[in-house]
Structure 1
Amino acid sequence: MSSDALLTFLADYWLSLVSVIALLVLSAFFSGSETALTATSRSRMHTLESNGDQRAGIVNRLIERRDRLIGALLIGNNLVNILASSLTTSLLIGLVGDSGVAIATFAMTVLLVIFSEVLPKSWAIASPDRFALTVAPVVRPFVAVAGPLSSLVNAIVRRILNLFGVNLASDMPMLSAHEELRGAVNLLHREGAVIKADRDRLGGVLDLGELEVSDIMIHRTAMRAINADDAPEVCVREILESPFTRLPLWRGSTDNIIGVVHSKDLLRALAEPNVEPETLDIVKIAQKPWFVPDTTNLKDQLNAFLRRKLHLAIVVDEYGQVQGLVTLEDILEEIVGDIADEHDLDIQGVRQEADGSIVVDGSVPIRDLNRALDWSLPDEEATTVAGLVIHESKSIPEERQAFTFYGKRFTVMKRVKNRITKLRIRAADDTPTA
């Protein structure tokens, strides 16, 4: 081989080598960009854009069409990987002959895995937001050029998958926004970034649209009300001695609610000249009752309370029968809860025993128990603990009967007629043996 030919060969060799290195860098760029832009926090980017960060705005525009973005980056990544492998194979064949194919395959596999996949993706996933902000200005023009080809590829892929009954509707996310938010809060709680009380409050807000008034109402059997036919002084005494500021007023039957008496209205009436408790007409100072269906969800009911500027509503079923009452405070407690301390039980009707078991009234809501003890008992089929036991046992249990489900051992301690009034709950694996 002449000296000129040798120089030409070396020039080609170094040019190819530099080209392969440049292509590996481009491959790393595409891989890292794909990882960073798909893992970046949309909420943080939105906040940065609102604060005037133009790069965050570019990131938001790119991830609005995620399928187009990923398709363009994958096309670019595959093009440079194939080109790098082809150049390496050609180079090694020229150097060592036919065995260069095997050497090139092995060498490029190692280089691509380490330097074009694992390294850039590990770097990107370690700080996706910073990485995304850095690469976004460069990625945008590339996506603008390769975007139409990416859309064509995506359309072909969707057509092929449709033949097999797979529908990739981009506008149908697997999780709703509420589910994504709930999952994020639960994850942050497990990682220690969000305390239990804050998690419960955020969860309470998200649950408002899923709960109905019947799930939190004060049942008619526990509802305190005033009989309009009682002597006026008796009604006045009952209202003033009640811990509640608003009481329903009924006549003839507790199903016939004719008004709601506010203690402030009562005191205002008693302050009038020549008005005595014996001569006071309770019906005249009562406000008109507000009836709401028991199927109303709490989100709508909260908005209705705020719109009407009222704090109490009478709950009725589909036949118009009174089922109980719900107050604005009841709904707010679903958000803020009524637990004084994360580790102390402060629910009415719940008592911690020395042996670690929990004694609860049958009327205690399952949701309150879950929030207090961080349990996950289901509340889809039953609202109270007693209702859950009856639903699972498919019967009205006798006293001292015990059942095990959802990892808990439920023992019926007291039953009044067909109502379970007290239960003991302990972990199933803590059940004492005879």
Structure 2
Amino acid sequence: MHGLESGAPQVDIWTAVGIVIVCVFLSAVFAGSETALTAASHARMHSLEKEGDKRAAAVNRLLRQRNRMIAALLLGGTLVNIGGSAFTTSVLVVVAGDNGAVYATVIMTVLLLVFAEVLPKTLAINHPDETSLRVAKFIAPFVRVVGPLLAGVEYIVRTVLALAGVEVGHGRTVRSPYDELKSAVDILHDEGNVERAARDMFGGVLDLQVLHVSDVMIHRTKMRTIDADLPPAQIVREVLSSPFTRMPLWRERPDNFVGVLHSKDMLRALNAAGGDASKVNVDEVMFAPWFVPEATTLEDQLEAFLKRKTHFALVVDEYGEGMGLVTLEDILEEIVGDIRDEHDLAVQGVRPQPDGSVLVDGAVPVRDLNRVMAWDLPDEEATTIAGLVIHEAGAIPEAGQVFTYHGFRFEVMRKIRNRVTALRVTPQQAI
């Protein structure tokens, strides 16, 4: 008590206050740094490092040793929290007697909760990149200094877990980079940072490696073909009346394709024949068909189109039977959406109705319907909307039947033999 009367304890109290403030500040730095560094954008840090930003390089080095970095920050935060609390308690016990421990607990709880946890972490999570760049040059040396100690701690932890029968690193599900990228873009779209068109284009690029030509091809029932044994004049008329520049040719039976006729080649041959279509030799004008397996991914098919410098291929199944055709445009449409020019057919097969329902041709691909209507119908088990209904029903439905799947009402409007050709699809919220 003599020290209190001489005034010396006043200096000790202010020193104690200063030490506590420093401990709370350091605790805030460690807590905010942990939040910022774990939430920092890898893409932006990588870009800044390539531009020569040394702070970004330090952030990337820390992120490459994420486990050790987090352990170091937890160690630093624990040390300053314990140190600050112990010092505050010892001082308040001297000043306030036995109640000093209670006062110290209340004071440090409030200080650490508000100023060393909530405040810095809120700031860091709202500005993770900027905060990471600011703290990296201080955190990196600290991680290097305590690294050997943390290595010992990691060894002890692994040993204890091994004795308990737990293998570190096993049992964790690692998402593919494809899933991570697609989910990130979906989240940005939901938050309003990425427009729907940009999200669809980005998703289309990623989907090239998981979709197959069978998912986007024009089915053989929808193909426009020409009998190669028809008179040349009739073949010329067929080519000129078609909205397509390339026409498959067949002989004997419709699925026996013998060649592909390009309209420009036909016009050149017609010009060389002096305009007399009967003198055109179709066999000399057509080029050999290119057959590709239906299981080929769109990524591989796009690369093959570019290498062969051609835009058209016929699709066959594992038995060599013709399934349909695929073009370069079909693949590009998976990225940029529907591509139409002045010669394309106007019928798209999707007709929204005033009551909120949509009349859909059975052959419309589920992916195209999702893109046009901003729906999320599954397309893993079926390519077309009719195929989806048949898959879910487990049978070929009759006209007039109604089903409810995936939050939508499906009404079969028309059926021709075993094909569902028209449906009315209504979102449940529109019912």
How does the TM-score come out when normalised to structure 2?
A: 0.92
User: Are residues 416 and 161 of structure 1, via their aligned partners in 2, closer, same or farther at CA, if it must alter by over 3 Å?
Assistant: farther
Q: What is the CA-CA distance between 1:275 and the residue it aligns to?
A: 7.6
User: Are residues 227 and 19 of structure 1, via their aligned partners in 2, closer, same or farther at CA, if it must alter by over 3 Å?
Assistant: same
Q: Is the 8 A contact 1:359 1:424 kept in 2?
A: yes
Residue 135 of structure 2: aligned partner: 135
User: Are residues 404 and 99 of structure 1, via their aligned partners in 2, closer, same or farther at CA, if it must alter by over 3 Å?
Assistant: same
Q: Distance in 2 between matches of 1:369 and 1:347?
A: 14
Q: Distance in 2 between matches of 1:3 and 1:417?
A: 104
Residue 178 of structure 1: aligned partner: 178
Match of 2:272, SS state, is coil
Match of 2:296, SS state, is coil
Q: Distance in 2 between matches of 1:333 and 1:391?
A: 25
Residue 249 of structure 2: aligned partner: 249
Residue 291 of structure 1: aligned partner: 291
Q: Which amino acid aligns with 1:84?
A: G
Q: Which amino acid aligns with 1:256?
A: N
Q: Is the 8 A contact 1:35 1:125 kept in 2?
A: yes
Match of 1:425, SS state, is strand
Q: What is the CA-CA distance between 1:207 and the residue it aligns to?
A: 1.1
User: Are residues 150 and 408 of structure 1, via their aligned partners in 2, closer, same or farther at CA, if it must alter by over 3 Å?
Assistant: same
Q: Distance in 1 between matches of 2:220 and 2:104?
A: 81
Match of 1:278, SS state, is helix
Match of 2:234, SS state, is helix
Residue 366 of structure 2: aligned partner: 366
Residue 89 of structure 2: aligned partner: 89
Q: Distance in 2 between matches of 1:430 and 1:339?
A: 29
Q: Which amino acid aligns with 2:322?
A: V
* 1:264-343 mapped onto 2 (5 Å cutoff): 264-272=264-272, 276-338=276-338
User: Are residues 279 and 95 of structure 1, via their aligned partners in 2, closer, same or farther at CA, if it must alter by over 3 Å?
Assistant: same
C-alpha RMSD of the superposition = 2.3
Residue 350 of structure 1: aligned partner: 350
Q: What is the CA-CA distance between 1:112 and the residue it aligns to?
A: 0.8
Residue 214 of structure 1: aligned partner: 214
Further displaced range: 176-185 or 417-426: 176-185
1:138-186 Cα distance to aligned partner (Å, 9 max, x none) = 111111112233344345445555645464369x773332222222222
Q: Distance in 1 between matches of 2:161 and 2:267?
A: 73
1:354-411 Cα distance to aligned partner (Å, 9 max, x none) = 2221111111111011111111111111111111111111111111110111111111
Indicate whether 1:409 and 2:409 are aligned: yes
Q: Which amino acid aligns with 1:271?
A: N
Q: Distance in 2 between matches of 1:220 and 1:423?
A: 21
Q: Is the 8 A contact 1:71 1:151 kept in 2?
A: no
Report how many aligned residue pairs link the two structures. Answer: 425
Q: Distance in 1 between matches of 2:288 and 2:411?
A: 44
Residue 169 of structure 2: aligned partner: 168
Q: Which runs of 4+ in 1 moved over 6 A?
A: none
Q: Distance in 1 between matches of 2:160 and 2:313?
A: 56
User: Are residues 151 and 220 of structure 1, via their aligned partners in 2, closer, same or farther at CA, if it must alter by over 3 Å?
Assistant: farther
Match of 1:52, SS state, is coil
Further displaced range: 92-101 or 121-130: 92-101
Q: Distance in 2 between matches of 1:158 and 1:360?
A: 59
1:16-36 Cα distance to aligned partner (Å, 9 max, x none) = 332222111111111111111
Residue 17 of structure 1: aligned partner: 17
User: Are residues 4 and 115 of structure 1, via their aligned partners in 2, closer, same or farther at CA, if it must alter by over 3 Å?
Assistant: closer
Q: What is the CA-CA distance between 1:274 and the residue it aligns to?
A: 6.0
Q: Which amino acid aligns with 2:417?
A: K
Q: Distance in 1 between matches of 2:179 and 2:200?
A: 14
Q: Which amino acid aligns with 1:292?
A: V
Residue 68 of structure 2: aligned partner: 68
Q: Is the 8 A contact 1:68 1:150 kept in 2?
A: yes
Q: Distance in 1 between matches of 2:197 and 2:286?
A: 38
Q: Which amino acid aligns with 1:198?
A: A
Q: Distance in 1 between matches of 2:406 and 2:218?
A: 27
Q: Distance in 2 between matches of 1:4 and 1:417?
A: 103
Match of 2:413, SS state, is strand
Residue 343 of structure 1: aligned partner: none
Residue 418 of structure 1: aligned partner: 418
Q: Which amino acid aligns with 1:409?
A: R
Indicate whether 1:26 and 2:23 are aligned: no
Q: Is the 8 A contact 2:273 2:280 kept in 1?
A: no
Q: Is the 8 A contact 1:400 1:411 kept in 2?
A: yes
Residue 343 of structure 2: aligned partner: none
Match of 1:230, SS state, is coil
1:48-82 Cα distance to aligned partner (Å, 9 max, x none) = 22233221221122112211211111111111111
Q: Which amino acid aligns with 2:20?
A: V
User: Are residues 429 and 273 of structure 1, via their aligned partners in 2, closer, same or farther at CA, if it must alter by over 3 Å?
Assistant: closer
Q: Which runs of 5+ in 2 are unaligned?
A: 341-345
Further displaced range: 178-187 or 257-266: 178-187
Q: Distance in 2 between matches of 1:271 and 1:152?
A: 85
Match of 1:411, SS state, is strand
Indicate whether 1:188 and 2:188 are aligned: yes
Q: Is the 8 A contact 1:255 1:321 kept in 2?
A: yes
Residue 382 of structure 1: aligned partner: 382
Q: Is the 8 A contact 1:339 1:347 kept in 2?
A: no
Further displaced range: 385-394 or 244-253: 244-253
Q: Is the 8 A contact 1:339 1:372 kept in 2?
A: no
Q: What is the CA-CA distance between 1:212 and the residue it aligns to?
A: 0.9
Identity of aligned residues (%): 54
1:101-122 Cα distance to aligned partner (Å, 9 max, x none) = 2222222111111111011111
Residue 238 of structure 2: aligned partner: 238
Q: Is the 8 A contact 1:351 1:360 kept in 2?
A: yes
User: Are residues 266 and 242 of structure 1, via their aligned partners in 2, closer, same or farther at CA, if it must alter by over 3 Å?
Assistant: same
Q: Is the 8 A contact 1:71 1:154 kept in 2?
A: no
Q: Is the 8 A contact 2:30 2:74 kept in 1?
A: yes
Q: Which amino acid aligns with 1:88?
A: T
Q: Distance in 2 between matches of 1:290 and 1:152?
A: 63
